[in-house]
Every structure is written in C-alpha cells, then in structure tokens.
Amino acid sequence: MKYYILDLSSHNSLVKYLTDQGFTVFMISWRNPVTEDRNVAFDDYRRLGVEAALATIEGVMPGRQVHALGYCLGGTLQSISAAAMARDGDKSLKSITLLAAQTDFTDAGELTLFINESQVAFLEDMMWQRGVLEATQMAGAFQLLRSNDLIWSRITRDYLMGERAPPCDLMAWNADATRLPYQMHSEYLRKLFLNNDLAAGRYLVDGKPISLSDIHAPMFVVGAVLDHVAPWKSAYKIHFLVDADVTFLLTSGGHNAGIVAPPGEEGHSYRVKTKSVDATYIGPVEWLSAAQPIEGSWWPELAKWLTARSGEPSEPPGIGIKPADTQALSDAPGDYVRQ
C-alpha cells in the first residue's frame, strides 16, 4: 500500500508525533511500478530502498546510527536487510521496529486462503502478461479478508439504507492501492510465503544465506489483536528467531487502525512486555496472561523506548538538506504518491 499511511493528517501522523518528540524522521517514498518495472526483484527493494535510504541518511547526518522501522511487508524487508547487514558486520542500525510484520509465514492467517501453489502459478501467468499485479487485485484480496467491514456493511449502509459515511483519511488511503512488479511479487510469494525461506535460514542475499539469529539490535515489535493480514501470533514468532532483546506490544484494532492509533483518540489500548535476550521464552498465550492491558495509544510507549536507546538531543538537519551527489526531487508528498 502507499507509504503515507504513517503521515495521513496532522492529528494522526506517526511521523509528526515522533518529530514532536525530538526525533529526526526519514521516510522512503516507494515508487508505484509500471509494466516496464516487471523485472524489478525483491532484492532490488532492499538495495534501492533500504540500503539507498541508509546511505542518504549517512550523507545528511554523518556518523549516526538509525532506528529502523518497517510496516507490514516493509517490516519483512527490513528484517531481511537487518540480517544481511548483521552478517556483513554493518553496525548502522541502533534498533529495529516492526509494525504488523511477519518473518515466519507458517501461520500467516486468513491470507493463506488465497495463496497456494496453484493460485501463485495463476497469479504469475497473469502478472507475466501485464508486468505487474494491478492495484485493484491487491485491494480486492484485502477487502475479502474483512468482507463484513469493507464490503457488505458498506453496501448495506450506503446503498440499502442510503447512509453515506463521512469521508475519512484512512479510508481514502485504503482506496489508494499500489501495483507490484511481476518478479518482486512472485519471489515474495514463493520464497517467503510458500517456502518460508527466511525463517528456515534458506533466504539468500548476494548469493549467501542470511539468518535472523544474527540480529542483535534491540527490537520493538507491534502486533494487532484483530489483524487479518499479519496475525499477531505470527508476528510474535520473532521471539525465537532473533538473538536480541524483544519488546513485544499488542495493540487493539486491526492491521491499519491498530497502528494508526494517535494519543487522544478514544478506544485504543495495548499490552507490552520485554523479553531480554537471555530470558526464557514464553508462548503467546502465556504472554497474553502476563502482560496487563493499558488504556490509550501505544505511540508514547514507542517514543519512550526509542528515547532510552538514543543519544543526547541534537539539532535536526535543515529542511531540504541533502548530500551533494543526490538530485532534488519534488516537494512533499512527492511524485510517487500521485502515480
């Protein structure tokens, strides 16, 4: 989906919230691919996305470590990048935050209803002809996962009862789906979803396998109770995959509304508990009993966690400051958001 979900409006922007807390925030504006991008691979997203972003940040703010954050598939990509960097001795990451992201796909929830060998083969044939997975196909799959909320309740309310719901920034974003390149999507479905190569230690980066157990940077991992895309018990499996301190937070809500949960908005709650690297593992059911519910937004918990792992406050770079060898793009929100 489009990257700007974490910066929808001033009142529910995680980017604004973190900058208000004194953090300097960089965000990748992912391109919406076209047919000519059919051969862009999953690893290209790592090289041209994560690695390029870190190189740019180093040019803007030299010598700083980065708190990396990835959401959904971006979190899976961030985990792969972190494992590859750890394998190669790269110390750029100070911490890793994963929002509603899976690294082990053995219990991937209701999405497994749509993904099997025959379905992947069908999708590959269709994508081969077009070069991309169309946005409408992506959106349709997610709507079917929550058909009561995203299809039938809206039809009943809008068309049978004539009650038009007021416009909402989150629903506008939800309608702004993106395409995926043929090769990238095929590799994701086969290597990660079907074969579970990442969790099994078979995933290759630059021709060599990576292991999530090489990750030693502290992690802040968020799951959502009603998440149909990345079930929280699946996200919880990160505990026995990495060799790091893991703070796991379970928020109310689903894959989107559970993450976009700003302070001051009613109806939010969460549970949180930290497992140190040498502590005994407990399963998700035991964890749920041990972690007591807390009313309110989970965002202050993230800010507190990041602050405890940051250095002394410093002046942020000026707006528009960039390395000398980079080309200026357009003003925010950028061109990609309009593609």
User: On the CB side of 185, how many CA atoms lie within 13 Å of its CA?
Assistant: 27
CA distance 197 to 211: 10
Q: Tokens 């996200």 belong to which residue? A: 235
Instruction: Report the 10 Å Cβ neighbour count for 163.
Output: 9
**What is each CA distance from 115 to 100, 119, 190, 201, in whole angstroms?**
19, 6, 10, 22
| Among 7, 46, 52, CA closest to 25 | 7
**What are the two backbone dihedrals, phi and then psi, of residue 205, each rounded to the nearest 5 degrees?**
-125, 120
CB-CB contact of 273 with 291 (8 Å): yes
Q: Where are the alpha helices (DSSP H) in 88-168?
A: 117-130, 135-145, 147, 153-155
Catalytic-labelled residue, pool 72, 93, 99, 246? 72
CA distance 246 to 219: 5
CA distance 216 to 87: 11
In the residue annotation, 72 being an active-site residue is answered as: yes
Pairing of strands 132-133, 180-181: antiparallel
So which residues are the catalytic ones?
72
